[in-house]
Amino acid sequence: MKQPIFTGSCVAIVTPFKADGVDYEKLGQLIEFQIANGTDAICICGTTGESSTQTMQEHMVTVEYAINKVAGRCKVIAGAGSNDTAAALELALHAEHAGADGLLMVTPYYNKATQKGLIQHYTYVADRVHTPIILYHVPSRTGTSFKASTYYELSKHPMINGIKEASGNFSLVSQTVALCGDEMNIWSGNDDQVVPLMAMGGKGVISVLANIQPQVVHNLTQLCLEGKFAEAAKLQAKYQKLNDALFIEVNPIPVKTAMNLMGMDAGLLRMPMCDMEEGNLATLKKVLGEYGLL
């Protein structure tokens, strides 16, 4: 049985950019806000953190900053994914040296990979690190999908701890649970699917919503961990409209915009991320107002 790196709510935290780089003072404030509001783990330099627009050096410095700022008060999961296996290993080894509790590794994108290639990619990195890895399955962004049989093969590796499952494919989740049992932990990668995934044995969520509602997401996952699924379902339903608004355009455009509207100063988006369409912006403002967030 593999102990999960964390249980509960992990925020996929934004990276506050200035024109000339990362605003580390603001990042520190966002981290403190998360810790003060019950967040169980922080994922730094993931998709929501716009890691794909960062240089290797900037990515590494940002990971180091987050780990040092958290200082053991919650878990830190460092993004370490790449479509280049050697680059993924470099990021993974750096995060391990910096003290990360876990590594989040997205499937190779653009060049993609066969199932055999996925096994070789993750095994290559896992053989060379001593920090547990979370596989990140988000085929809508990468064009690459896992099969349950591939999850099973990877579950045999002691350094592969689990999956951030953002495919929305509950048949795949069910097959994976049946094949892998306690050897592969699963976290939801979609805020609107936390309750059903945790009802199937999931350990929590890696969340976008937690950027603006950390206590809510923490409470939701705790209800699930306590087996109070009916109560959790009501809470998830309550925030469905907000979740929808946060994905009205590609992530992290809406959540960063929401944070700035709320006075949280999440900084600039980096191209090719851009300002929201006016109609979508109006919808987001309306929904935030309905939730009392403006």
pLDDT band at 57 (very low <50, low <70, confident <90, very high): very high
What does the pLDDT average to over 163-187?
98
Q: What separation in angstroms does the CA of 3 have from each of 114, 186, 202, 243?
A: 29, 11, 12, 29
Check residue 135 and give its pLDDT.
Answer: 98
Please answer whether residues 31 and 13 qualify as being in contact, where contact means their C-beta atoms are separated by less than 8 angstroms.
yes
Check residue 114 and give its pLDDT.
Answer: 97
> Does the annotation mark 109 as catalytic?
no
Check residue 179 and give its pLDDT.
Answer: 98
Q: Identify the active-site residue in 26, 164, 203, 256.
A: 164
Residue 274 lies in a domain: no
Number of domains the chain is built from? 1
Domain of residue 133, CATH code: 3.20.20.70
Distance in angstroms (rounded) separating the CA atoms of residues 254 and 242: 11
Residue 255 lies in a domain: no
Q: Identify the active-site residue in 69, 122, 136, 256.
A: 136
Residue 294 lies in a domain: no
Residue 22 lies in a domain: yes
Residue 126 lies in a domain: yes
| Structural domain boundaries, residue 198 | 8-226
> Does the annotation mark 75 as catalytic?
no
Residue 148 lies in a domain: yes
Distance in angstroms (rounded) separating the CA atoms of residues 261 and 41: 25
Residue 241 lies in a domain: no
* HEC profile of 18-72: ECCEECHHHHHHHHHHHHHCCCCEEEECCCCCCHHHCCHHHHHHHHHHHHHHHCC
Check residue 289 and give its pLDDT.
Answer: 98
pTM tops 0.75:
yes
Residue 132 lies in a domain: yes
pLDDT band at 262 (very low <50, low <70, confident <90, very high): very high
